[in-house]
């Protein structure tokens, strides 16, 4: 008869191995085409490093590789963002709580959303994507459920593609996002380029006005604009210092005011609403 302790360990190992198989199936590579090589290293090896240090190291080699590859690196990054790469939260938790000798037999866990976030950082370094590629990435933003990751992806696209019609269309759709911080960020992006997209957008001023009056709305944007790797739930920051939040809140209010100044049309009624907002001393 097998001792209960050994049976329990055997069940844990078997469960982890099964989870590893499932996550590896999810990581089966699609057709990546020709292998990209920079300084004798494949782009995949540059991207992943030794896996255990993928998110904690500065990676100037990655930036140089992106500059060298140009849009040729898009397919690899798009697969990471769109496809099933990395592991789920359950496998991640089980790995972290397993004995060292069990971990040694398993694949090191990289959360799927962490992998997507890291891939979006690389996308933010690419300045020559085609219109079709930008369109594909805009769809990915809308399909992203994690609000922290959705904000990060929006900011990555804005770096070089904030004037593209497809980016404007994306931001317009995000004006109806259930997350108040994302609605505010999308509104700021549109208002900053109000002269460049066609037609007035009546939803911009009310959302910006709410951002000025509601500290809770601003806090939702500030909190979820931060992303920390290796957290459960993915991206969680486990609290930010009061000094940091206060500093960021002041900067965000200035950004909102600049966005309002950039609007093409502000009606007399909206102007009066602004006067009322500034007349109130207490921010709530």
pLDDT digits (tens, 9 = 90+) for 129-163: 999 999 999 999 999 999 999 999 999 999 899 98
Any domain includes 141: no
- pLDDT for 41 equals 87
- pLDDT for 20 equals 54
Same domain, 153 and 273: yes
- pLDDT for 32 equals 45
- pLDDT for 171 equals 95
Any domain includes 105: yes
Angle, in degrees to the nearest 10, between helices 242-261 and 215-224: 110
Any domain includes 54: yes
Same domain, 161 and 99: no
Any domain includes 135: no
- pLDDT for 8 equals 63
Same domain, 180 and 281: yes
- pLDDT for 26 equals 36
Count of domains forming the chain? 2
Same domain, 59 and 121: yes
Any domain includes 138: no
**pLDDT higher at 8 or 59:** 59
Any domain includes 137: no
**pLDDT higher at 258 or 22:** 258
Same domain, 16 and 74: yes
Same domain, 163 and 237: yes
- Kindly write down the DSSP assignment for every residue of the chain, as one continuous string: ---HHHHHHHHHHHHHHHHHHHHHHHT------SPPEETTEEHHHHHHTTSTTTTTS--HHHHHHHHHHGGGGHHHHHHHHHS--SB-HHHHHHHHTS-HHHHTTSPPP-BHHHHHHHHHHHHTT-----HHHHHHHHHHHHH---HHHHHHHHHHHHHHHTTSHHHHHHHHHHTT-SSHHHHHHHHHHHHHTTTTSSS--TTHHHHHHHHHH-HHHHHHHHHHT--BSS-SSTB--S---HHHHHHHHHHHHHHHHHHHHT-S---HHHHHHHHHHHH-----
pLDDT at 51 over 90: no
0.85 cut: is pTM over it?
no
pLDDT tens string 74-126: 999 999 999 888 999 999 999 999 999 988 889 999 999 999 999 999 999 99
Average pLDDT over residues 212-222: 93
Same domain, 60 and 90: yes
Mean pLDDT, rounded, of the chain: 84
Band of pLDDT at residue 199, cut at 50, 70 and 90? low
Whole-angstrom distance, CA of residue 268 vs CA of residue 71: 47
Domain boundary among 94, 128, 162: 128
> What is the four-CA torsion angle of 265, 268, 273, 275, rounded to 10 degrees?
100
Average pLDDT over residues 21-50: 67
- pLDDT for 147 equals 95
- Phi-psi sector, 33: left (phi>0), alpha (psi -120 to 50), beta: left
Same domain, 74 and 186: no
- pLDDT for 31 equals 38
Domain range spanning residue 114? 1-128
- pLDDT for 149 equals 96
- pLDDT for 281 equals 46
**pLDDT higher at 91 or 53:** 91
């Amino acid at each position: 008869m097998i001792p209960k302790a050994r049976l329990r360990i055997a069940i844990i190992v078997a469960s982890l191995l099964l989870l590893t198989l499932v996550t590896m199936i999810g990581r089966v590579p699609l057709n990546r085409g020709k292998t990209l090589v920079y300084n004798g290293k494949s782009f995949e090896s540059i991207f992943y490093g030794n896996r255990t240090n993928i998110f904690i190291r500065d990676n100037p080699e990655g930036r140089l590789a992106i500059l060298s590859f140009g849009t040729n690196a898009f397919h690899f990054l798009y697969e990471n963002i769109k496809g099933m790469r990395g592991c789920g939260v359950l496998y991640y938790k089980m790995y972290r709580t397993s004995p060292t000798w069990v971990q040694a037999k398993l694949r090191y866990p990289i959360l799927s959303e962490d992998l997507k976030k890291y891939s979006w950082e690389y996308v933010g370094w690419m300045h020559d994507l085609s219109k079709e590629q930008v369109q594909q990435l805009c769809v990915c933003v809308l399909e992203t459920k994690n609000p922290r990751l959705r904000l990060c992806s929006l900011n990555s696209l804005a770096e070089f593609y904030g004037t593209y019609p497809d980016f404007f269309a994306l931001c317009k759709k995000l004006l109806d996002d259930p997350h108040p911080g994302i609605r505010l960020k999308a509104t700021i992006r549109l208002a900053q380029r109000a002269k460049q997209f066609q037609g007035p957008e009546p939803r911009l001023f009310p959302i910006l006005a709410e951002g000025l009056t509601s500290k809770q709305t601003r806090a939702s944007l500030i909190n979820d604009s931060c992303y920390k790797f290796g957290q459960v739930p993915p991206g969680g920051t486990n609290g930010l210092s009061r000094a940091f939040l206060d500093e960021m809140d002041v900067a965000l209010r200035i950004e909102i005011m600049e966005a309002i100044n950039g609007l093409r049309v502000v009606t007399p009624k909206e102007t009066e609403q602004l006067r009322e907002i500034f007349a109130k001393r207490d921010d709530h």
